Structure 1
Amino acid sequence: MKIVLLDGYTLNPGDLNWAPLQEIGDFTVYDRVKPDEIVEKAKEADILLTNKSKLTAEILEQLPKVKYIGVTATGYNIVDTEAARKRNIPVTNVSEYSSRAVAQHTFSLILHFTNDVARLNESVRQKQWAKSPDFCYSFSPLTELSGKTLGLIGFGSIAKEVAKIAHAFGMRVIAHRRSEKPATGFEFVEILPLETAFRESDVVSLHCPLTEETKGIINAERLGWMKPTSYLINTGRGPLIVDQDLADALNQGVIAGAGLDVLSVEPPSLDNPLPEAKNCVITPHVAWLAFEARRRLLQMTADNIKAFLNGTPINVVN
């Protein structure tokens, strides 16, 4: 059984053991491949694994040996699932492996704005504290989260972990999702209409899937619903946001700031307006990158393959 992973570096830059996949069959991993190299690298694969390498219908037509495609991520839009289905190739993904890690990163972005740790630390390194006439100082008022309102757009596994943390901080937690019923164990979360959630939140955090309906859900109109003192956090999907609309809102003071871990195109184009926007903090899609989360992802990828080989496939998305 020949297993090929097209882009393994981000999953395992060297700190994990490939044993869970090596134990299943003849395993070959590439750090990354260019689009025009995919067919050559994958032509002998029975099992093909990908994270961000796109598998189009045209590419799949040139890979007649492939019997199974595993996406080493939750999102699977990089695979033409319909083309795979027509060839009876199951496509699987891995979900909920990084919920706690992404929730943790969500709050690291929120706390950046409330506690200003990086800027204060840099000022101390620049000897500003040593020269201060007072025993303490800040550049802007620091903010207590207790009593503030967190609005979650989407209420899946990651949003639930974020809600738990927010509740522990003493925040009011509201959410917008398709179902109006509160989830069991989350009765403290108020389910509200979309516009109400935007208008009442001090922090809006995006956790909805990327669909035709949610693409560009953050646009000029909805940013206008937010308080001028509020913050937008996105650890979900970059295309949920219209980049220029958010940049304009930040530069014009429509909202106070934005913390982003994802952008509409990754790596970003040089003309993306957000890295230069006022009070916009961006991390390079690392919310999922915790060692423990990646180890979990690797094992769950192997478990998906084993289930397929045993004739009981799991996590099939097509």
Structure 2
Amino acid sequence: MKAVFLDTQSLDDLDLSPLADCVETLVCYPTTSPEQVAERIAGFELVITNKVVLDADLIRNADSLQLICVVATGVNTIDLTAATARGITVCNSQGYGVQSVAQHVLSLMLALHTRLLDYDRAVRRGDWNRSSQFCLLDYPILELNGRTLGIVGYGALGQEVARLARCFGMQVMIAARPGSTSIPADRVALETVLSQADVISLHCPLTEATHHLIDAPALARMKAGSFLINAARGGIVDETALKDALCSGHLGGAATDVLSEEPPRQGNILLDPAIPNLIITPHSAWGSVQARQTIIEQTVENIRGFLQQTSVRRVN
């Protein structure tokens, strides 16, 4: 197959030779603008993309296209209806970042509880130099042991975060699926989780049902002084409401790896440096070397499966 990779930028520090070895031709571009897509996919049987959008018009006019491989889990950038109508197979990557994201979530949780960033900044501005004693204890430090973690979204990521949290002595509550009419025996109503957990960690997909799931009323239900962690999608949290909850002191802190628009070229309300005890990382939780190399390996499996007519991770 003749293949084109439209946006290698988040993977181009890795070994892409396995991809090249399983196709006849591989053309790679670090990035591709919307205006460049039609020209770049013309004549190719395989298109590999991460975040480049392939809409219905592009798919209908790509006469040679047979296979689309998305080097991510989400396929919202692909018009699946148009692809299916054309008989084009769409495959994605799955489960590659479980360890990487779970590790990041625990890092954020620990940083909030130990006030790690506050102490680092305090030392750098000379507060320790001026201390009247051998240590500096200006910010309250909390232990994970004995605290309760509420998890919203209990797929592979949520399960791994729960496992790691239990290793630190935390109790774990699993929220029932938002909007569900019945609550399984091993789940707890979301409202109860919000009101009883010391830490809420989000791992659910962004859908119509979960958009602004954590809004002002939900934040108000959370325990005073509790923490919120979002390594899922930015739109799940009402960012204005989160800022208000932090600035008012109702929440003890928050950490997010995602924002409603990424990158935040137009700014974002959460980037206000006056917001207390908020940690923001740049959608990097998934990005360990191991996780990203797994994406390459899974894409190779997807291509070989298609060629052998045993498609792997097919989504349409």
**TM-score of the pair, normalised by structure 1:** 0.93
Counterpart of 1:74?
Answer: 73
| Cα deviation code 1:1-22 (max 9, x no counterpart) | 111111111122x2x1111100
Could you tell which deviates more after superposition, 119-128 or 228-237?
119-128
* Shift of residue 301, structure 1, vs aligned partner: 1.0
How many Å separate the matches in 1 of 2:252 and 2:60?
49
Secondary structure at 1:127 match in 2: coil
Unaligned 5+ residue runs, structure 2? none
How many Å separate the matches in 1 of 2:131 and 2:243?
35
Counterpart of 2:256?
Answer: 260
Counterpart of 2:64?
Answer: 65
* Shift of residue 122, structure 1, vs aligned partner: 3.1
* Shift of residue 102, structure 1, vs aligned partner: 0.1
| Cα deviation code 1:67-114 (max 9, x no counterpart) | 011110111111111111111111111111010100000111111111
Query: What RMSD, in angstroms, separates the aligned Cα atoms of the two structures?
Result: 1.5
| Cα deviation code 1:37-61 (max 9, x no counterpart) | 1111111221111111111112212
Secondary structure at 1:147 match in 2: coil
Counterpart of 1:114?
Answer: 113
Q: How does 1:214-229 map onto structure 2 within 5 Å?
A: 214-229=210-225
Secondary structure at 1:7 match in 2: coil
Corresponding position: 1:196 with 2:192: yes
Counterpart of 1:300?
Answer: 298
Counterpart of 2:49?
Answer: 50
Counterpart of 1:10?
Answer: 10
* Shift of residue 269, structure 1, vs aligned partner: 4.2
Unaligned 5+ residue runs, structure 1? 183-189
Moved over 3 A (4+): 177-182
Counterpart of 1:170?
Answer: 169
Contact 2:195 2:223 in 1 (8 A): yes
Contact 2:118 2:139 in 1 (8 A): no
Identity %: 39
Match of residue 232, structure 1, among 219, 228, 231: 228
* Shift of residue 139, structure 1, vs aligned partner: 2.0
Amino acid at match of 2:149: L
Counterpart of 1:287?
Answer: 285
Amino acid at match of 1:59: L
Secondary structure at 1:191 match in 2: coil
* Shift of residue 129, structure 1, vs aligned partner: 2.1
How many Å separate the matches in 1 of 2:267 and 2:126?
35
How many Å separate the matches in 2 of 1:50 and 1:166?
34
**TM-score of the pair, normalised by structure 2:** 0.94
How many Å separate the matches in 1 of 2:102 and 2:34?
32
